Amino acid sequence: MTKVFTVAIDGPAAAGKGTISRAVAARFAFAHLDTGVLYRAVGVKGGDPVVVARGLSAEDLVRGDLRSLEAGQAASRVAAIPEVRAALLEFQRRFARRAGGAVLDGRDIGTVICPEAEVKLYVTASAEVRARRRWLELGGEDAPKPYEVVLAELHERDARDMARAEAPLKPAADAVVIDTSEMGIEAAVAAAVERVAAGLAMSGRIDAPGE
Ligand code: DC
């Protein structure tokens, strides 16, 4: 019988968390929650962020504009409000401990949402590498913003996410750090899958599916 097994994946923006989380979830048939989407949905909706966070609906999470740089900045701002974080906490905790296994990616999964997670990864990369990836995703030379602006905004978001009083971004003491600065995404996914497979083998909570 499948039991609870949580993979917590934290790290700064554009480090590769999303790709790694989706790959790990697919490989082990775990459910996946990109927790940044919750904060992005609150950030873009407008109005009182605490009221919005308390009444967030499924439709709010599938808006087309959630992936923009502006939505990321808005998310980072509302994410510093303790009442917003409190409103989103229970949903994330329940998701993390659902039967069958779950992967959650965000900033505070291993430290606050699920300190008991069986596997904790902290995925990071230098700010320059992350900004370049984001800029290339936006179209490179055709991007609406020059690389320098993307880098400056990333620094601003990192600083806000790391300096806030409530649930700041930092690796959990028992997190395994994966630095993707000089690693291809396949190698990063392989490193993450290896850690999860080792965690599953150690926990004996769930049978790892075959290759
Ligand atoms: O992972 P992302 O870029 O979609 O996150 C957007 C912002 O949301 C991020 O800058 C900070 C906030 N966030 C958070 O505070 N805690 C999380 N678990 C996830 C995101």
CB-ligand 1 contact for 42 (6 Å cutoff): no
Domains of the chain: 6-203 (3.40.50.300)
**pLDDT confidence of residue 206:** 52
CB 122 within 8 A of CB 110: yes
What is the CB neighbour count within 10 angstroms for residue 178?
23
Distance 206 CA to ligand 1 centre (A): 29
Per the confidence metrics, is the pTM higher than 0.75? yes
Residue whose CB lies within 8 A of the most ligand 1 atoms, among 6, 68, 76, 113, for a mutation test: 76
- pLDDT at 211 (0 to 100): 42
Task: State if residue 76 touches ligand 1 by the CB under 6 angstroms criterion.
Answer: yes
Q: Is 45 close to ligand 1, i.e. is its CB under 6 Å away?
A: no
Element (H, E) at 160: helix 147-163
What atom in ligand 1 is closest to the CA of residue 79?
Answer: 15
Ligand 1 pocket, residue 114 CB under 6 Å: no
- 106 Cβ closer than 6 Å to some ligand 1 atom: yes
Q: What is the pLDDT of residue 97?
A: 97
**Average pLDDT along the chain, 211 residues, taken 10 residues at a time:** 87 96 98 98 97 97 94 96 98 97 98 98 98 94 95 96 96 97 95 97 66 42
Answer yes or no: is the C-beta of 15 below 6 A from any ligand 1 atom: no
What are the CB-based long-range contacts (under 8 Å, 24+) for 127-130? Answer: 127/12, 127/151, 127/154, 127/155, 127/158, 129/180, 129/181, 130/12, 130/13, 130/14, 130/15, 130/154
Q: Cα torsion for 139, 145, 151, 152, to the nearest 10°?
A: -170
Asked if 121 and 176 count as a contact pair (C-beta separation under 8 A), the reply is yes
Residue 171 tokens, joined = 């690796």
CA of 36 to the centre of ligand 1 (A): 4
The tokens describing 196, both together, are 């999860």
CB 14 less than 6 A from any atom of ligand 1: no
Scanning the structure block, which residue is given the tokens 């490193």?
191
Tell me which residue has its CA closest to atom 10 in ligand 1.
76
3-state helix, strand, coil in the chain (%, to 5): 55, 10, 35
CA of 15 to the centre of ligand 1 (A): 12
Report which DSSP code applies to 111.
I
